[in-house]
């Protein structure tokens, strides 16, 4: 049993420092002005054995605004690169986050703590190293919401607000957020050492990742191939979760792809409102490279970039063979998730067809994606009206519904209720909370957070309404 600790007792190490100097530079966080606690995730705290009762707002503000360092913390910023919108950028890196260190978690694994928005680092390029309050609120809510929906993701421990002014499209206040993950290593870390022709460092990095995250790969004939195979699998599984949920990441550059297959770097993300496969949540993505329906193939493209980086360690034919697993793993996992949402147990040959006909109906009728699953559940419970309001305008609705009901077996609605969230972090909900928070009122933020943490328990409440017309298809810019 792990003992609960206060902030003063947390003991960090920094295993990333096993790697030699070219991988990172030491950075001292630059304190924010007049910091104050905005939000704190007790669920994330539990993962590292941090006792919420021993973490006062004052202490959290001091430790996570850059004023103080936790015991053992020796912060650093790491260098990486990446393909951004298809083009290679030779040098990126932790431009506005520092790795504070890592700590043993209550589940036996180690969690890295990163402080985001802590000021300039050697990799800030033209940026100020800061993060706007609105952007960390979005990341905090999204990461904790996806975690509650069982989607692999980085976590968020807390947000600290401040009176430090930052300059975006207007003047805003800077804030910081503590992000947690077993690893923050990206595909782009590998690309950096590959394209800068540093094969020794690339191998060191791969060995480090295998040692800490894929230890079983070390026992395989080619550990690097085993690691790559698993990264491909995890990425395909992750994408299946995103797609089934209607989550759009928005900036699937290779520097935002996690080597352990978790959702990483929340920017202009969005959840589908109306089912619109070509929905683009990122205003800067004019061509829709990262549109909702493109995400699985982009993830695979990113896996090709990773394969290229590993080409000195693994034979090309083996990398290609591993990559071939992406599509079938994705397809099976996606179908499984969709079947759970539709309450379809067991397996029949018509399952794929029933799912795609359902999606065609949603698209034709411009129906709200997540609301449609709830409406189906209600219809099966005898309340047909919400469903007919959404879909009955389509000529194909009645035949589809007949086939679907014939296909069901057992108590479908029990399964559906466990897989169809009652609350989704729609952009307009986040926006409302942000506007209050910018005025210094965090009660709505805490309330929405509470609902997102229990997405299947929430009564059909204010949060489960489909998006009002004014809030639909908000598309956000990368500026954050």
Instruction: Rule CB under 6 A: say whether 124 interacts with ligand AMP.
Output: yes
Residue 347 tokens, joined = 């397996």
Q: Write down the residue that tokens 């990486």 correspond to.
A: 80
Residue 467 and residue 75: Cα distance in Å, rounded? 41
Q: How far is the CB of 88 from ligand AMP (least distance, A)?
A: 14
Q: Which of 22, 95, 105, 312 binds ligand AMP (CB under 6 A)?
A: 95
Q: Which of 36, 83, 116, 130 binds ligand AMP (CB under 6 A)?
A: 130
Q: Which of 47, 251, 260, 367 binds ligand AMP (CB under 6 A)?
A: 251
CB 12 within 8 A of CB 116: no
Q: How far is the CB of 209 from Mg ion (least distance, A)?
A: 18
The entry of Mg ion, ligand AMP, none near residue 96 (CB within 5 to 8 angstroms by kind) is: ligand AMP
Residue 166 and residue 164: Cα distance in Å, rounded? 6
Q: How many CA atoms lie within 13 A of 56 on its CB side?
A: 4
Q: How far is the CB of 119 from ligand AMP (least distance, A)?
A: 9
Q: Which of 261, 267, 296, 343 binds ligand AMP (CB under 6 A)?
A: 267
Helix %, strand %, coil % of the chain (to 5): 45, 15, 40
Q: How far is the CB of 126 from ligand AMP (least distance, A)?
A: 8
Q: Which of 43, 62, 74, 128 binds ligand AMP (CB under 6 A)?
A: 128
Q: Which stretch binds ligand AMP (CB under 6 A): 11-19, 127-135, 387-395, 457-465?
A: 127-135
In the annotation, is 150 catalytic? no
Task: Give the helix ranges, DSSP H, for 162-249.
Answer: 187-195, 199-213, 223-245
Residue 345 and residue 409: Cα distance in Å, rounded? 7
Residue 388 tokens, joined = 């007919």
Start-to-end CA span in the chain (Å) = 40
Q: How far is the CB of 82 from Mg ion (least distance, A)?
A: 8
Count of residues interacting with Mg ion (CB under 5 A)? 2
Q: Write down the residue that tokens 């792809």 correspond to.
A: 257
Question: If DSSP codes are grouped into helix, strand and coil, which group holds residue 454?
Answer: coil
Instruction: Rule CB under 6 A: say whether 402 interacts with ligand AMP.
Output: no
Q: Which of 255, 265, 273, 274 is catalytic?
A: 255
Q: Which of 173, 143, 142 is nearest to 65 (CA)?
A: 173
CB 262 within 8 A of CB 238: yes
Instruction: Rule CB under 6 A: say whether 49 interacts with ligand AMP.
Output: no
Residue among 35 and 182 whose Cβ is closer to Mg ion: 182
Residue 275 and residue 331: Cα distance in Å, rounded? 19
Instruction: Rule CB under 6 A: say whether 93 interacts with ligand AMP.
Output: yes
Residue among 16 and 63 whose Cβ is closer to Mg ion: 16
Q: Which of 112, 191, 230, 265 binds Mg ion (CB under 5 A)?
A: 265
Residues in contact with Mg ion by CB under 5 A are 256, 265
The residues that are catalytic are 255
Which residue ranges make up the site for ligand AMP (CB under 6 A)?
Answer: 92-96, 123-124, 127-130, 251, 256, 265, 267, 478
């Amino acid at each position: 049993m792990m003992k609960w600790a206060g902030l003063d007792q947390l003991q960090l190490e920094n295993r990333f420092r096993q790697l030699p100097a070219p991988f990172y530079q030491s950075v001292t966080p630059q304190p924010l002005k007049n910091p104050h606690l905005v939000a704190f995730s007790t669920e994330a705290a539990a993962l590292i054995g941090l006792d919420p009762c021993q973490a006062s707002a004052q202490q959290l503000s001091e430790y996570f605004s850059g004023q103080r360092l936790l015991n053992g913390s020796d912060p650093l910023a790491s260098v990486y690169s990446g393909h951004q919108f298809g083009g290679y950028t030779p040098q990126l890196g932790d431009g506005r986050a520092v790795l504070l260190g890592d700590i043993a978690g209550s589940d036996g694994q180690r969690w890295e703590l990163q402080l985001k928005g802590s000021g300039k680092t050697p990799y800030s390029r033209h940026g100020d190293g800061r993060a706007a309050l609105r952007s960390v609120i979005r990341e905090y809510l999204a990461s904790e919401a996806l975690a509650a929906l069982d989607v692999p993701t980085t976590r968020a421990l807390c947000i600290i607000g401040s009176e430090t002014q930052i300059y975006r499209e207007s003047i805003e206040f800077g804030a910081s957020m503590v992000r947690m993950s077993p690893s923050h290593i990206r595909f782009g870390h590998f690309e950096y050492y590959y394209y800068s022709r540093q094969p020794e460092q690339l191998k060191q990095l791969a060995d480090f990742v295998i040692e800490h995250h894929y230890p079983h790969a070390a026992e395989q004939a080619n550990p690097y191939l085993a690691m790559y195979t698993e990264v491909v699998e995890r990425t395909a599984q992750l994408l299946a979760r995103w797609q089934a949920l209607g989550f759009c990441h928005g900036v699937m550059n290779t520097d935002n792809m996690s080597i352990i297959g978790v959702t990483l770097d929340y920017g202009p993300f969005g959840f589908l409102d109306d089912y619109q496969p070509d929905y683009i949540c990122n205003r800067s993505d004019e061509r829709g490279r990262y549109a909702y329906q493109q995400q699985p193939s982009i993830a695979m493209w990113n896996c090709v970039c990773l394969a290229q980086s590993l080409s000195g360690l693994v034979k090309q034919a083996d990398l290609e063979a591993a990559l071939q697993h992406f599509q079938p793993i994705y397809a099976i996992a996606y179908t499984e998730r969709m079947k759970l949402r539709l309450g379809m147990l067991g397996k029949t040959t018509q399952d794929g067809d029933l799912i795609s006909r359902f999606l065609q109906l949603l698209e034709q009728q411009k129906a709200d994606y997540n609301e449609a699953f709830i409406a189906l559940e209600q219809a099966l419970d005898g309340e047909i009206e919400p469903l007919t309001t959404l879909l009955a305008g389509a000529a194909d609705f009645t035949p589809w519904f007949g086939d679907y009901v014939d296909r069901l077996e057992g108590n479908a609605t029990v399964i559906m209720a466990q897989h169809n969230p009652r609350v989704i972090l729609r952009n307009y909900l986040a926006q409302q909370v942000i506007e209050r928070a910018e005025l210094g009122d965090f009660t709505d933020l805490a309330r929405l957070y509470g609902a997102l943490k229990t997405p299947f328990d929430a009564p059909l409440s204010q949060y489960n309404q489909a998006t009002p017309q004014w809030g639909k298809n908000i598309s956000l810019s990368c500026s954050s």
